[in-house]
Amino acid sequence: MIMTRKIQIRLNILFVTAAVVLAVIFCLYGTGYLDELQTVLAKDHYVFYWMLLVGVIAEIVAGSMGMGYGVICTTTLLFLNIPPHIVSASIHSAESFTTAAGSVSHIRLKNVSKSLVKKLAIPAVIGAIIGAVCLTYLGEYYAKLTKTIIAFYTLYLGIQILSNAFKEKQNKAMKKKTHLTRLGVIGGFIDSFAGGGWGPLVTGTLIKNAFTPRFAVGSSTVAKFILTITAAVTFFFTLGIQHWNIILGLLIGGIITAPFSAMLTAKLPVKKMFFIIGVLVIVMSSITIYKSVFS
């Protein structure tokens, strides 16, 4: 009964979203702006439609594994030769909405530890601001070097994701000591600078150190929402809003998929997804590194 109600709520959200989108399209058609919209969506070799697909895939992965949204989006955008500072700014702008929805769900399900969120979020905000400011200038003036560094980082994350496909679950009687302040600062910096990585680093560390998985995922998600908003606002003041086609593609793709991500979670073989996504990220990161070094 509860699951049926949840599915119905998600379907209602999807129908409302579809109705709003159709209403907007109708208004644009009536006012003569539809042609201009089509021109915007065709920019940069139709990257909007690629981002729509990436948003769908990334949300499926994030919904089933609790991580991977930023890694997939960053790897794909770098592969498409989008400048690093535009990559992170676009991802955080779109992810502000998806992490908000995820945070509300976790809070309603009581998966959130307020003390854990506080210990992670405050240092994460500091790290996110530093990362966004550094990327704004390094990404613009040292784009090739920055792109190569981030590609090496996503390659590392790809290897980490792939290794999860071969790990057996371990029962741990005691929590390992976790330096949450340091973890939050580093996680916030890396996520803001590299466009992703909070989930694999922070959520992965908490679970590995024997924090209760639902509290680790829920609290980490809420902290991620706070740092995402911080990064998005920082990028807004340093870069302004650029590449609306990328942001809209990622946002709409995520919104379309979000109502069904929970249902897919129970059906998708998680370890096989770890393997496929890990291999995909490794291959795309390797190609990006090759192009950056030898082009």
- How many other CB atoms are there within 10 angstroms of residue 266's CB atom? 8
Each residue's pLDDT, cut to its tens digit, for the chain (295 residues) gives 444 555 565 556 556 556 656 665 566 555 555 566 566 566 666 788 888 888 888 877 776 666 778 888 988 888 888 888 888 999 998 888 878 877 887 888 788 899 999 999 999 999 999 999 999 888 767 778 888 888 898 888 888 888 877 876 655 444 556 789 999 999 999 999 988 888 888 887 887 776 777 788 889 989 999 999 999 999 988 887 777 888 888 888 887 776 666 555 556 676 777 788 788 888 888 988 888 787 6
Which amino acid appears at position 159 of this protein? I
How far apart are alpha carbons 273 and 49 in whole angstroms? 23
- SS3 call for 143: helix
Q: Which residues contact 152 (CB under 8 A, 6 or more apart)?
A: 285, 289
Total count of residues recorded for the chain: 295
How far apart are alpha carbons 103 and 114 in whole angstroms? 12
Q: Which tens digit of pLDDT belongs to each residue from 204-244?
A: 788 777 677 778 888 998 999 999 999 999 998 888 777 78
Largest CA distance in the chain: 65
Structural contact between residues 102 and 64, judged by C-beta atoms closer than 8 angstroms: no
How far apart are alpha carbons 77 and 71 in whole angstroms? 10
